A = this chain, B = another copy of it.
């Protein structure tokens, strides 16, 4: 019977997880006792225990000794947490909102060492801008992540990092940024300089504004680039049609 199937406890765990996400058991509610579950599923208690441990490690349930097993979540956290593919414009809009706030927070807490690092990254971007675009983009990322670090808030740091990771991961964003690069748009030195200046002055509102301004311009550049791209695509399509039309004659 067990053939090449998955293990018993995995099936039980999946059934229970389904029941939970299906609303059979709601958050805060108690599951049937291990003995009952064992009988219901016609398996032994150890197997039920193994399944419950699996659910517990997925933070779906929480066991309280002597009391029972309680539902704490309706779906596993890892479900699609880090794997979401975020579109380029969504990504930039989110960054404008989130990094704008991060920048405002950073302005009140950044220390001189971090300011110096930002300055160094700025010159790096300036010098690398010409020869190596990849290097310059890396400096760009480190610039933004240093600002996030300056907030001294691991939640903000994680959020910013997540967005940049998503950018790296997303095929759409990668190809788009390649296109933008091809159109000659490079990381904007002056905008980054404005951000650094506001941070130096410990000016939260100014820092936020500078960061939002910067990312707004990036969005605009991207829009323009995709416009060009769209035009190119349309032109090609027309040429295609023309050819077909000509061929059918």
Contacts and interface: CB of A to CB of B under 8 A. Distances in A.
Interface of A: 9, 26-28, 46, 49-50, 53-54, 57-59, 72-73, 77-78, 81-82, 84, 86-87, 90-91, 93-95, 97-98, 100-102, 104-105, 132, 134-135, 138, 153-156, 158-159, 161-163, 165-166, 168-169
A86 B100 CA distance: 21
Question: 9 closest pairs, A vs B, by CB?
Answer: A94-B155, A28-B134, A97-B101, A159-B159, A27-B138, A90-B153, A86-B155, A77-B165, A57-B57
A158 B90 CA distance: 11
Contact of A166 (B90, B98, B155, B166): B155
A155 B28 contact: no
Interface of chain A, main secondary structure: helix
Contacts of A54: 53, 57
B98 A97 contact: yes
Contact of A168 (B73, B82, B102, B165): B73
Nearest to A70: B134
Contact of A153 (B9, B94, B102): B94
